[in-house]
Amino acid sequence: EVQLVESGGGLVQPGGSLRLSCAASGFTFSNYEMNWVRQAPGKGLDWVSYISSGGDTIYYADSVRGRFTISRDNAKNSLFLQMSSLRAEDTAVYYCARGFNSWGFQHFDLWGQGTLVAVSS
Amino acid sequence: SYVLTQPPSVSVAPGQTARITCGGNNIGSKSVHWYQQKPGQAPVLVVYDDSDRPSGIPERFSGSSSGNTATLTISRVEAGDEADYYCQVWDISSIHPGVFGGGTKLTVL
């Protein structure tokens, strides 16, 4: 079955760190670009970060640049998001999403079920 | 950075046609993608590249884009179509290229 499964969410204090993982199965992970997208409680979707299939191109939203680090391990079919200096406004469900690139324009054709990150003292 | 603007809500009676708009500067020059999200669930792609449908998405879902407005059209609306809908573009000229609209809540009356 083609799927993405996130893990690693939880409750963390402001200023703390957390590492999210996304396990891919059912497709050739190394062929695909990947993204993290988050959704704060009751709010809309918010793109967080992108990594190319080989890991050599990375982008971040302004709100997380310098605090979050995206990475991948193609041998283990896994995507990661290392989050540090966490703030209350980072509280959200974090989704990993597979990117499909057509003519340079990417859409997200496969999503995980999400993992909840709560930042609170 | 690029901004996408959606109406917060759209209401339609069953069997009628719903149109959800997504506004952006010269959006017709980009590829627009649409996602459906039901409560407690992950988003699902329903239209990509302005007007293409992934396999398994009913033909009732269609899209168009021109000028400064893209539109998701849902024909013969059913109760099960009630959900939040998000438009998205990939702004390749930006260092933060992923952009979502604010979302539209579709209510089936």
What pLDDT, on a 0 to 100 scale, did the predictor assign at position B96? Answer: 86
In DSSP terms, which residues pair with A24 in a beta bridge? A4
- A47-64: pLDDT as tens digits: 999 999 999 999 999 999
* Low-confidence residues of chain A: pLDDT under 70: none
Task: Inform me whether the C-beta atom of residue B45 falls under 8 Å from chain A C-beta atoms.
Answer: yes
| Cβ–Cβ below 8 Å for B49 and A35 | no
A:B CB pairs within 8 Å: 75
Name, in order, each residue with C-beta under 8 angstroms of B41's C-beta and a sequence gap of 6 or more.
Answer: none
Supply the Cα-derived Rg of chain A in whole angstroms: 14
Q: What is the pLDDT along chain B (109 residues), one digit of tens a residue?
A: 899 999 999 999 999 999 999 999 999 999 999 999 999 999 999 999 999 999 999 999 999 999 999 999 999 999 999 999 999 999 888 888 999 999 999 999 9
Q: Show the tokens assigned to B97.
A: 């290229």
What pLDDT, on a 0 to 100 scale, did the predictor assign at position A40? Answer: 98
CA distance B93 to chain A (A): 10
CA A71 to CA A69: how far, in whole Å? Answer: 7
